Amino acid sequence: MAASPRADFETLFRAYDIRGIFNEQLKEDTAAAIGAGFARFLGKGGEVVVGRDVRLSGERLRNGLTAGLVSGCNVTDIGVVSTPMLYFATSQLKKNAGIMITASHNPPEWNGFKLFKPNGCIYGEEMSRIKQLASAVDLEKIGPKLGKTTKYEKIFQDYAEFVSSKIKVARKLKIVADTANGVCGLFAPSLFERQGCEILTLNKNPDGRFPAHLPEPKESTLGELKKKVVETKADFGVGYDGDGDRAVFVDEKGRLIPGDLALLIFAGDVLKRIKNAKVVCELSCSLAVEEYVKEHGGQPIIEKVGHTFIMDRMIYEKAVLGGEKSSHFYFAETNGGDDAIFAGLKMAEILSKSSEKLSAMFDALPQYPSIFEENFPCPDNLKFKVIDRLKSKFRADGLRFLDVDGIKLLDNEGWVLLRPSNTEAIIRITAEAKTEKKLMELYDFAVRELKKAMKG
């Protein structure tokens, strides 16, 4: 095998992970080159934890990755786990880094790698350095194995003990979980049962083909869950993604709760106990998040969209809680990481200590008209230039906006966000306002300006 084709790496390496279609951009020898490059990135004496989700290509990519890693590192293989469990293991086992083999919620033919340090994600300049090192690897001249691979098979027991020490469900609840044939089916049911809950699990059997529906929990994939929650008179439902870092909640009436409003249920619980606590949210979260956190004595902190940015900000700010509109939830107890199983158990704990139903908690939250993530195709080589054109135009027109992640235009009665995707050839528009009229005014303006900017 010769040096890995640089073109593959240009496609594979994203802002905060590595992702592609197996046996097209991402092959076993590509994984070996990435492993060897990562070993060089860590330097002599590196110790790396490797885990994988249930995708059919996971084992082959694990074999390639570890073959490259042992050219300079020792590898601890923890088998099939959730991404949060991999992050937990990196710290728990006191290793230099962790690599999770997953493509999260992508279709089954995709796979990739998420890279971690014990205190956060590897991305940005470090990711660029790993890409550079991997691109230079010649697999025919990789040299002798300086490291070895060992297996550690007790990480779930360790994780279960950790979670049980942090969460106490006060009374028996009935819960329905849709694990989407992903990794959560292996772990979530027993953890809920350990807390004394009655748990009904849909699509429980792990299957990397994801036969029930795509492993992305959202309105269009959670119809079965919503129906089953109402049918069984459950206290709530939770839908998980493929690798266990997203949890979407459904109340006992079968209504899906947007991620930013579920965040406020967690925040209400925390802010009762911790005054002046910091809560991190991202740019597309509702106006209600900032308002609610301030009203309840907390400090809202706004960050870019994306788990790497939220996780790093959680750790830097020593925040107690974080969340995204897409239903990633971050906790101080999980070292700032987003953990879907932990989020589900925490919701059970909150409900078990309250006389209110989840629907009442949801209905009590401020809710404004919104449009979430309308997608507009835009070539990868053009999307960031389009955003720069819009910044120049809006600046010249004297408009108020934030530019920490795309452009968030600010109005006294709402906002609209134009954000280039880091993983797809699209620009997304999200908007919110205090009235339907203002919402459509902001959205229509953003669409018109975007189309003009795309024409140059």
Chain segment 179-232, per-residue pLDDT in tens = 999 999 999 999 999 999 999 999 999 999 999 999 999 999 999 999 999 999
Torsion of CA 82, 84, 85, 86, to 10 degrees: 90
Residue 8 has phi, psi (to 5 degrees) of -60, -45
Tell me the whole-structure pTM to 2 decimals.
0.93
104 given a catalytic annotation = yes
Residues in the chain with pLDDT < 70? 1-7
pLDDT at site 3: 46
Amino acid at 224: E
Per-residue model confidence as pLDDT tens digits over 161-185: 999 999 999 999 999 999 999 999 9
Residues 66, 69, 72, 77, CA torsion sign: negative
pLDDT at site 1: 43
Task: Give the whole-angstrom CA distance, residue 332 versus residue 311.
Answer: 10
pLDDT at site 7: 56
CA distances from 292 to 187, 297, 311, 359 (A): 33, 9, 21, 18
What domains, with CATH codes, occur in the chain?
Answer: 6-153 (3.40.120.10), 157-363 (3.40.120.10), 370-455 (3.30.310.50)
pLDDT at site 13: 92
pLDDT at site 6: 54
Q: How many CB atoms lie within 10 A of CB 25?
A: 20
Candidates 104, 284, 327, 352; catalytic one: 104
